[in-house]
Structure 1
Amino acid sequence: VVNTWFCTLQEQQCDTVEHQLQFLGLTVKKQSLHKSPTTTTTRTRGKSVMSHRDATLFSSDVASLAAPNFLLDGVINFVMAHMTTELGDESLLLVSPSVASLLANLQDYEPETVADTAQALLLASRRMVLFPVNNSERLDKADDGSHWSLLVLDNITGRFVHHDSMDGANLPAATRLADALRPLLPAPPQGPPISGPTPQQSNGYDCGVYLLAVALAICRWWKKHPRTEEAAPCWFESVMDQVSAESVAAMRLNLAQKINLELIKQGDTTPSSSWPSSSSSSRQ
């Protein structure tokens, strides 16, 4: 259940989260909330260019694929939706950025909404759950944070593992999410998130691509190894073997090329015309 104030937030951010919650079987309830986050307006995300499952890609998301730009929420959501389809295994769940943000930041305002969302995600029954972590605490403004990382809920060994390409810069945000998740799990991991080995970025804008590269490495490891309590191999070696500055640069380029080709197939002959120049601002 999502209250009415949530639908007065920045329009497309609200639409994204509301659509994803409806995808989980949750509905909007008309009810006021005097402690709701302050609403603001923010930049437009442009036109909708394509969708997959519950993920919609906007033109501004496509533009963010051009280095040296900070990868926007929509790209991470879209790529993780594709990873979910390709993985085809419900025991490993990839959570969208907006739903992860809701779980991390809405507990003080709407604990029932957080509990309903966690129940719909079937967190307790998953073997592993991957959460994108952003250091923004604002639900009312899309793409507001300055750094991405990945939090893994490992229900096999009972732990939270945090992968951060900026030397743990996002640990406070990951800890906030882990703390919000613990009351929602029947047997929650104890202690703070442990630091998972993660190749480090050498620039200030590739953190979102590192997040996706680590998630992809974990998904590939998941498909290759047995996953039982008696024999639970760790994915750390796969992450270190598969993720590097070179593979991250290639991943960003490949994503842009694949999306541009798909846009051309759809009839947009100039899909990259809206890409910003190399002088555009960047974030971590």
Structure 2
Amino acid sequence: MESNYRDIVLTDLEVDTLKGPCYLSDQIIAFYFAYLSGSFNTKKTDTLLVPPFISLLIANSEDTTCVEDYVKSWEMSSERLVLFVVNDIIEDCSGGDGGNHWSILVYDRTKNLFLHFDSMMGVNNFSALKLYDALKEFMGPGGESLSPHASSKKQRKKKKNVPYVKRGSKATQPPAIGESEATAVAGLPMFTECETAPQQQNGYDCGLYVLAIARAICQWSSQEHNRTDMISTIEKNVDYSVEMKMRSEVLEIIQEISADN
């Protein structure tokens, strides 16, 4: 038996991951992102939640032309907030169910800044920087490519001078990128590894934190952005109850939608 929602198909096996201590599949995350988009009317707030498989394809693409095509087709360069999912998969990314850890990377156009939230801080830093490196040339505040179209695979393989945070370290301030790269391309977005609290207490609830953080961001974007900042809203709404309640909440949503269909 399958559940369908906005072209997202969930098998019984995937739904069952919400019933026990299991690592969430990319389809569960894609479903909840689609649900948040509808619930919070994200088109009105210029907020885009990118499905996991698109984020993985961008992060692992060797061709900047393909990355640029994804950015254009999903209209990422015109949104105020863009939420990407990070996975530490290093081989075949076609399915999205590989890897061992999920985290979330947020682009805030008002600050021209990428923010990485990781419930096991430091574990996905390399993968987040990989996704950032793939996107940064196309996500400037003007919404246009910041590098010549001719800069393709050869340039991408060149070592980048980007910030690096060691596993387990904390960074509460955006680390500065190298001056040479910062001045090479005007408007290049920055990257910061946010101090994310709480940190998960096990090895399988990372996807739940991604969902909870995404929900808090959508709430902030639609209701609270004039009263508080995004990080404060995340801190207020994401706590250890995520590990106890989030699975049942998402499962209930799926069951209600299935009953209506």
Shift, 1:262, TM fit = 4.4
Note closer, same or farther for the CA distance 1:211–1:189 as it changes in structure 2 (3 Å cut).
farther
Residue in structure 2 matching 1:80, options 30, 33, 44:
33
Q: Which runs of 5+ in 2 are unaligned?
A: 142-186
What is the aligned partner in structure 2 of residue 243 from structure 1? 238
Select which of 80, 95, 102 maps to 1:127.
Answer: 80
Deviation, structure 1 residue 198: 3.2
Match of 1:159 in 2: 113
2:64 — aligned with what?
Answer: 111
User: Which of these residues, 8, 12, 17, is aligned with residue 55 of structure 1?
Assistant: 8
Tell me whether 1:253 sits opposite 2:248 in the alignment: yes
Q: TM-score normalised to the size of structure 1?
A: 0.69
Identity within the alignment, %: 32
Q: Does 1:89 align with 2:42?
A: yes
TM-score normalised by L of structure 2 = 0.75
How far did 1:157 drift? 0.9
Q: Distance in 1 between matches of 2:257 and 2:35?
A: 14
Please state how far the C-alpha of 1:169 moved relative to its aligned partner: 1.1
What RMSD, in angstroms, separates the aligned Cα atoms of the two structures?
Answer: 2.0
SS in 2 for 1:192: strand
Pairing partner for 1:100 from 55, 59, 62: 55
* Over 6 Å off, 4+ runs: none
Match of 1:221 in 2: 220
| 1:50–1:58 CA contact under 8 A, matched in 2 | yes
How many residue pairs were aligned? 213
Q: Measure how far apart 1:183 and its partner are.
A: 1.8
Describe the shift of the 1:238–1:61 C-alpha distance in structure 2 as closer, same or farther (beyond 3 A). same
**Cα 1:244–1:211, aligned 2, differ >3 Å: closer, same or farther?**
same
Aligned equivalents of 1:135 and 1:234: distance in 2?
A: 29
Q: 2:77, 2:107 → 1: CA distance?
A: 10
CA distance in 2, matches of 1:206, 1:162: 17
